[in-house]
Structure 1
Amino acid sequence: MIITNRCILTAVQESDYEDIKKVYLNEKVRQYLGGTVREESIDGVLDIMLNSDGNSWYFCVRYKQTNDFIGLVSLDPHHTGKDMEVSYQLIPKWWGAGYATEVITEIIGFAFTILKLPRLVAETQVANIPSRKLLEKVGMRLISTYDRFDAEQALYYLKSCDFK
């Protein structure tokens, strides 16, 4: 469990199924993530989260005061296999109030202090300006852009020695 000023992050559990559906079936959340998934695919998504090989961490984010579901955050191997990637999906109701910044900052701290990772990356579509601003706000720097999934992607990085 990870606790921030306003949030509690807990490892994904089977009982989180309905909340996970809220993220993967939401068009606004999935706009820059390849679109929504079919409802029947949620079981497979949850299975991956529950049975990771010990090299991935998946957290449900909840509002501390009410336990309301805010979204998901994870640390997974980036598709290149070179680095770990921080990813996040928050329900739109929680956008714009600093929750993503709070949670991502804490996850980065977890990655560098507990997991002792030397570097993290994050990938987002170039068109996803709010996500790019968030990554820059938490100290990540753009290192490249490239085409993937029929869209221009932006790859950001942060070294542990640069994390404040």
Structure 2
Amino acid sequence: MNDIIREFPLLETQRTSLTEITPIHQTDLFNLFTDSRVTEFFPVIKFKEIKDILPVIRLFAENFEKNTAIRWGIRLKEADELIGTIGYSGYKAGHRSSLVYALKPAYWGKGIMSEVISAVVKFGFQHLQVNRIEAETLPGNIGSEKILLKSGFRFEGLLREWMHWNGADYDVNMYSILKKEFPDQII
């Protein structure tokens, strides 16, 4: 990211706390990323055991240390359990970043992800100093597309065979929001 961000930033919304993901969260992440409803439109490594999540947690920490990405765990303020993750998978100062997120199905349709996206987008524009934040969805992921539109993102189009994952090519829908489109009173 930049020299201003030396310690992992903790964010809060009305109902959630966004926290650093550590090995104590491995069971929460295992449960999240092995739920077929979560991963239906989100290609991930197939995890067989809880310990298989540890390299992913280490990768999150390494990427933050290298200033290339950041991933928060999402938890409700009154709980310790992570109910999801959100962050930026890539970052280029002054230009753009890619938003990624996942949430346990028990929390879908409650406005939690929209609330969290708003805080993370604000952080991206203020502290990462990006001008553009992108989000990609696989075609058919209607829930994610609705959240992005509700959060101020615009649909830009279908990118044919844009993503290559595990030997297969996938079409993706591209959404974005520019700093000048984000409400001034929030920044």
TM-score normalised to structure 2 length: 0.80
Q: CA deviation at 1:69?
A: 2.1
SS of the aligned residue for 2:109 comes to: coil
Q: Percent sequence identity over matched residues?
A: 25
Query: Root-mean-square deviation (CA), in Å?
Result: 1.7
Contact 1:58 1:74 (C-alpha < 8 Å) held by counterparts: yes
Which structure 2 segments of 5+ residues have no match? 1-9
Counterpart residue number, 1:54: 67
State yes or no: 1:161 paired with 2:161: no
Which structure 1 segments of 5+ residues have no match? none
Counterpart residue number, 1:5: 14
Counterpart residue number, 1:140: 153
State yes or no: 1:16 paired with 2:16: no
State the alpha-carbon separation in 2 of the partners of residues 15 and 35 from structure 1.
21
State the alpha-carbon separation in 1 of the partners of residues 72 and 99 from structure 2.
11
Q: Residue deviations 1:36-64, cap 9 Å, x none? A: 62235423222211211222111000001
* Aligned counterparts, 1:1-164, within 5 A: 1-34=10-43, 37-39=46-48, 41-52=52-63, 53-77=66-90, 83-146=96-159, 147=161, 148=163, 149-164=168-183
Residues matched between the structures, number: 161
Partner AA of 2:175 in structure 1 = Y
TM-score normalised to structure 1 length: 0.90
Q: CA deviation at 1:133?
A: 0.7
- Structure of larger gyration radius: 2
